[in-house]
Amino acid sequence: MIDYNSFTLNNGLQVIVHEDDSSPMAVVNVLYNVGAKDEQEDHTGFAHLFEHLMFGGSVNIPDFDEPLQMAGGENNAYTTNDLTNYYESVPTQNLETALWLESDRMLSLAFDKKSLEVQRKVVCEEFKENYINKPYGDVWKLIREQAYKVHPYKWMTIGKELKHIEDATLQEVKDFFHKYYIPSNAYLVVAGNVKTEEVKVLVEKWFGEIPGRSLPERNIPQEPAQTEARRLTVERNVPANAFFKSWHMGGRLDPQFYTIDLITDILGGGPSSRLYQTLVKEKELFSQISCFHTGSVDAGLVTVEGRLAEGISFEEAEKAVQEQMDIFCKNGIDPNELTKVINKTESMMAFEDLSLMSRASNLAYYALLGDTDLINKEFGMYQQVTADAIQAISNQLFQESNSNTIWYCATKN
Amino acid sequence: MINRTIAPKYYDATSFELNLKPYELAYLDNNTPVYSINAGAEEVTSIEFVFYAGNWFEKEHLVAATTNFLLKNGTSTKSAFEINELFEFYGAYLSRSCYNETASISLHCLSKHVQILLPIVAELIQDSIFPDKELEIYQKNNLQKLNVNLLKCDFVANRKIDEMLYGFEHPYGTYTRKEDLESLGKVQLETFYQTYYINGNCKIFAAGKLPSDFLSILNNHFGKMTLKNEVNPLDKTAHPIIRDIEKKAEILNDPNNVQGAIRIARPFPNRHHPDFQKVNVLNTIYGGYFGSRLMSNIREEKGYTYGIGSYLQNHVQESAWMISTEAKREACPMVLEEIWKEAKLLQENLVDEEELSLVKNYMIGSILSSLDGPFSIISRWKGYILNGMDEETFQRNISIVKSITSEELLELANKYLKEEDFYQLTVI
């Protein structure tokens, strides 16, 4: 059970306080409800580029990191297609330093030309390091483009192409900021050895005077149901063939979410999962295989990802995956297998809750979803999943017409 | 409006008293030590069995790592699948890791399942059989993984720099080669297992909300084993270091690469050396945190890289001071130039008071945050114990951070940051 208190400032900022006196540190987490899906298709990579710029100094504070480090703190941030999350951890005594810094960059950035020039280069190097210079680095670009035709999930968080980042102008950056980085589009969590009343005073002091602005309506085109199977074959300079197959699923708040989460775990989460055991260990058709879902706020994907063993053909590999999926859809699971995935989920949640930082970011995330209390209700939702539901939903989900297959071929030298 | 240009008052982290929560020490009937921290709000437990079974002890390449990996792949009564299924059924994680000196098996689970799971761990430690089929799959799949990794310039650079520093035959310099993977045999693994696990040297580290009868459960399953508790089993084997004669190397791994991996390193004494912790502070200033000189200049000023860092290698015996980055291909020569320019600055100018105090506060803050919760506390203790250090080390290291002066740092930079002492490698 994770206790918390919440309140909302006049400017619309939603605040959550989680008191935990066992930690010497306090965590400040600010989640903005803006991600890569809010970008224009010809201007991608912005939300993420922005994450970098948010450390380039704000209107009254020239350097973000320096005062924080002076106060013994550390910070970082991440961007996804759905959101941007910033967090600091500081010795509890120095909580106010973190609030001062976060509030000033919510007020306004410094919009420094030099900072934009440099961060643009840094992000381009990040792009190269993770998506160009690594074997299989472009796989998610391919999967997204294949599965999404309309929804902006069709590009990666880092951006669709380097050029978009290289071309970003200061004016575009300013516009993006003023549009999305406003109190009513943010969730602030303060966690640690703190008292709600004291936090309230400090939050009022630093965030209260940030003017409230109205948020533009979000008009994200939702992906229509896919009615025909899609296939793609590419050839790349990699040493081994790889196989990817994805199916469309609902979003994070879809009631089927919990069932699908368990389905992916049974199929491909860990060494005793069905696909791993039969296809890697028994039949030796793959050297590795897993099944997972993207867990996105809007409708997401369930993906099977595997690397073929030496000398195995794509036809053979795909047939074997299909066979396992068919058996699963036809026969369902036994009660023991259900108990196992529920146990795994219980344990995973307990380990996740160990860290104050992860409790803080989860609280912000559930607030974004619209129901902070989900943090305490979710395990109950998993416990309610039945074997029948698993079978019924699998049959719906794993329709061939809903599938996207990629054969990622190693160049033959 | 409040004046936002004035920072709110903050407490100097260097004025904080830091305490490392002490561990409890008990011994099983066979004298195996159990170090534990019983604390935490969540009903979870972690138990790690550390054996002196790292590659330090192997006679043929890869035997230590393979033995450790295959511990989970079959006993005389259970198949690999049954073992995985048992742990996963209870939502537990059984992981194994092989390092230079030690190799470990660790169990993370809900506290209520400790009693059911420990006997299986005991079985793995005493009754593994290394089935041929499992070894064959391991070899095949790892060969493929190796081929994939060899396309990455950072992977190739990490191997090569260690080889330059220590020589391929030294445990710190060795790496996975195709021929070594292929020549692995079951008998080698069984022999290694017999010597270094069944009759091996073991230390146990536990943390979390431990069940009340924790020690007696442990003793029932592990107290009668033929485990040993020697003070320093490493001393029995000597491994000569054979460094490269050439200090500079450039490798073209893939002509299509858009980035190059740079590794620069010099030999450095281990953690018992009086300069070790002091250089740790100097390293932090140089390349050890986000605001470091290397990051500020090479990433934040020039945008040549997504990240650059430096660190002291974490080896029990001799270690190394390493600088590491992946940078824009065309910029690699400029990056090297800037790395040495920053080193020169530290040799010629005193670090000013503001920067020094920032680094001190940052370091204390980061120690403080690493003491958050029983798992991180035991992990710090484990580091000390395996390196033959104690609580005094913790306090001494903190007082070094708090009291080191700019003059000392200047002296250290002149002693240890000389370009000619470093090996320098670029892999594209």
Give the residue on B whose Cα is nearest the Cα of A60: B5
Place of tokens 């437990």: B45
Q: Map residue A103 onto helix, strand or coil.
A: helix
Burial of A71 (0-12, 13-18, 19+ CB in 10 A): buried
pLDDT tens for each residue of B286-336: 999 999 999 999 999 999 999 999 999 989 999 999 999 999 999 999 999
B64 within domain boundaries: yes
CB B249 within 8 A of CB B410: no
Same domain, B130 and B252: no
Position B299 scores a pLDDT of 96
Same domain, B170 and B258: no
Q: Is A5-208 a domain of CATH 3.40.190.10?
A: no
Same domain, B143 and B210: yes
Position B326 scores a pLDDT of 96
Cβ separation B43–A350 shorter than 8 A: yes
Round to whole Å and give the CA distance between B177 and B143: 9
Q: Where exactly are the structural domains of chain A?
A: 5-208, 230-410
Position A413 scores a pLDDT of 55
Q: What is the DSSP letter of A291?
A: E
Give the residue on A whose Cα is nearest the Cα of B373: A23
CB proximity A216 to B under 8 Å: no
Q: Map residue A112 onto helix, strand or coil.
A: coil
Q: Which residues contact B286 (CB under 8 A, 6 or more apart)?
A: B292, B293, B294, B310, B342, B343, B346, B417
Same domain, B169 and B311: no
Q: Which residues pair with A213 in a beta bridge?
A: none
Q: Which residues contact A119 (CB under 8 A, 6 or more apart)?
A: A49, A52, A53, A56, B303
B237 within domain boundaries: no
B229 within domain boundaries: no
Q: Nearest to residue B111, comparing CAs of B16, B207, B8?
A: B207
pTM: 0.95
Round to whole Å and give the CA distance between B376 and B374: 6
Q: What is the DSSP letter of A109?
A: B
Cβ separation A240–B43 shorter than 8 A: no
Round to whole Å and give the CA distance between A91 and A116: 31
User: Rounded to the nearest 10 degrees, how much is the dihedral formed by the CA atoms of A262, A266, A269, A275?
Assistant: -150
What residue ranges in A168-270 does DSSP mark as E strands?
186-192, 230-236, 242-248
Chain A interface, mutation test: which of B19, B111, B148, B377, most A Cβ atoms within 10 Å? B148
- Residues in chain B where the model's pLDDT stays below 50: none
Round to whole Å and give the CA distance between A181 and A108: 9
Contacts B10 to A, Cβ<8 Å: 70-71, 93-94, 96-97
Position B230 scores a pLDDT of 87
B166 within domain boundaries: yes
B1 within domain boundaries: no
Contacts A124 to B, Cβ<8 Å: 303
pLDDT tens for each residue of B62-103: 999 999 999 999 999 999 999 999 999 999 999 999 999 999
CB B315 within 8 A of CB B387: no
Strands A301-308 and A186-192: unpaired
Beta-carbon neighbour count of residue B216 at 10 Å?
11
HSE at residue B409, side-chain half, CA atoms within 13 A, is 28
Tokens of B249: 């190397």
Beta-carbon neighbour count of residue A377 at 10 Å?
10
Domain that holds residue B140: 21-223
Q: If residue A287 lies in a helix (H) or strand (E), which one and from where to where?
A: strand A286-293
Q: What is the DSSP letter of A309?
A: P
Angle formed by the axes of helices A314-331 and A257-268, nearest 10°: 130
* Per-window interface: B 322-381 vs A, CB < 8 A: 326-328, 357-359, 361-362, 364-366, 368-369, 371-373, 375
Contacts B40 to A, Cβ<8 Å: 22, 354
Place of tokens 């904080």: B16
Q: What is the CATH number of the domain that holds B166?
A: 3.30.830.10
State the CATH class of domain A230-410. alpha beta
Round to whole Å and give the CA distance between A142 and A242: 13
Instruction: Nearest by CB to B90, from A90, A117, A343: name it.
Output: A343
Sheet holding B202-208, edge to edge: B24-27, B33-38, B202-208, B44-51, B103-110, B93-98
**Amino acid identity at A201:** V
B98 within domain boundaries: yes
Contacts B370 to A, Cβ<8 Å: none
- Residues in chain A where the model's pLDDT stays below 70: 413
Round to whole Å and give the CA distance between A25 and A298: 34
Left if phi > 0, otherwise alpha if psi is -120 to 50, otherwise beta: which for B2?
beta
Structurally, chain B folds into a number of domains equal to 2
Same domain, B31 and B82: yes
Same domain, B269 and B138: no
Angle formed by the axes of helices A335-352 and B80-89, nearest 10°: 60
Its ipTM equals: 0.92
CB B241 within 8 A of CB B171: no
Round to whole Å and give the CA distance between A194 and B16: 18
Same domain, B172 and B274: no
DSSP H helices, A128-256, are: 139-147, 162-166, 170-180, 196-207
Instruction: Nearest by CB to A129, from B85, B141, B306: name it.
Output: B306
Same domain, B79 and B138: yes
CB proximity A211 to B under 8 Å: no
What residue ranges in B316-422 does DSSP mark as E strands?
319-328
Tokens of A177: 């900021």
* Per-window interface: B 17-46 vs A, CB < 8 A: 40-44
Q: Which residues contact A32 (CB under 8 A, 6 or more apart)?
A: A83, A84, A85, A86, A180, A181, A185, A186
Cβ separation A74–B4 shorter than 8 A: no
Same domain, B160 and B101: yes
Cβ separation A129–B151 shorter than 8 A: no
